[in-house]
């Protein structure tokens, strides 16, 4: 069979598929897409793979492929892979209730923004993206410090709470706590970014406290 005939047959097949789509109507088609996407998600959660861990994660986490989201995670993963042995700092800001009213519901002024800082040294392997039901992410470190507690903990820097959407927070480039999110995440990857970051109003590179944290992680700074 000639190439031209094959091409014509493919065109006919595509037109038939388009005709079937038009017959289904938008609501039926949307339902079929949701059902197919959910089935694909379950297959990946059970262990099947597309062969691309980032696409697997995006399908499980978001339910569908989105080029901007895939590109976001790919670029972030590349940053981690290019920064092995360097610092990573995660700043997690959230609302915490400091005042309780009895009787009566809490008010906005009863809450204040609190920031937890996690510091680590990046290990090989890239950003850790889980494709189980949690669809969580972790930052690849052999050990890390939660600065508020000043204690070294083994393993990766975990997702701080509730498996926050890393893409949503970082792509929005939020610098203050946003009421519609109730949280904010800053992620600094690599020595240059971390050492120039102001922690407690002082550059990390100039902070005796930060140098103490670095030493606890096995990085001596001058």
For residues 57 and 69, what is the distance between their CA atoms, to the nearest angstrom? Answer: 11
Position 50 in a domain: no
**198 in a structural domain:** yes
Task: HSE, CB side, 13 Å, CA atoms: give it for residue 203.
Answer: 7
Mark the ranges of the chain whose per-residue pLDDT is less than 50: 1, 5, 173-180
> Do both 134 and 204 map to the same domain?
yes
97 and 30 in a single domain? The answer is no
Instruction: With respect to residue 85, please indicate whether it lies within any of the assigned structural domains.
Output: yes
pTM to 2 decimals?
A: 0.74
Q: Domains in the chain: how many in total?
A: 2
Q: What is the pLDDT of residue 175?
A: 39
Give the span between the Cα atoms of 57 and 44, in whole angstroms: 9
DSSP E strand stretches across the chain: 87-97, 111-122, 128-129, 137-138, 141-146, 151-154, 183-189, 198-199, 202-203
> Going by C-beta distance under 8 Å and a sequence separation of 6 or more, which residues neighbour residue 39?
none
Residue 199 lies in a domain: yes
**Which whole-number Å values give the CA distances from 1 to 4, 7, 9, 202, in the listed order?**
8, 10, 11, 73
Nearest-CA neighbor of 139 among 152, 150, 130?
130
DSSP category for residue 139: B
At 100-150, the pLDDT tens digits run 666 666 666 666 777 889 999 999 999 998 888 777 888 999 999 998 888
Q: What is the pLDDT of residue 145?
A: 95
What residues make up the domain containing 138?
77-216
pLDDT of residue 1: 46
Is-contact 36 59, C-beta < 8 A?
no
Element of type H or E holding 55: helix 53-62
Task: Indicate whether 187 and 99 sit together in one domain.
Answer: yes
**CA 32 – CA 11 distance, rounded (Å):** 23
Q: Are residues 128 and 205 in the same domain?
A: yes
């Amino acid at each position: 069979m000639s190439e031209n005939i094959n091409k014509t047959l493919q065109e006919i097949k595509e037109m038939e598929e388009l005709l079937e789509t038009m017959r289904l109507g938008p609501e039926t088609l949307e339902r079929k897409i949701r059902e197919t996407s959910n089935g694909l998600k379950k297959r990946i959660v059970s262990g099947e793979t597309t062969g691309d861990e980032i696409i697997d994660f995006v399908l499980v986490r978001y339910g569908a492929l989105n080029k901007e989201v895939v590109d976001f995670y790919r670029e972030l993963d590349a940053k981690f892979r290019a920064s092995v042995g360097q610092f990573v700092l995660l700043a997690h800001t959230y609302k915490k209730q400091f005042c309780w009213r009895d009787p009566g519901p809490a008010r906005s002024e009863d809450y204040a923004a609190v920031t937890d800082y996690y510091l680590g040294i990046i290990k090989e392997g890239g950003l850790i993206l889980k494709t189980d039901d949690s669809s969580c992410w972790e930052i690849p470190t052999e050990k890390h410090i939660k600065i508020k507690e000043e204690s070294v903990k083994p393993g990766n820097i975990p997702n701080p709470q509730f498996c926050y959407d890393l893409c949503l927070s970082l792509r929005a480039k939020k610098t203050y706590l946003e009421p519609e999110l109730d949280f904010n995440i800053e992620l600094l990857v690599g020595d240059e970014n971390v050492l120039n970051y102001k922690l407690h109003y002082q550059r990390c590179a100039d902070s005796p406290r930060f140098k103490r944290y670095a030493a606890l992680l096995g990085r001596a700074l001058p």
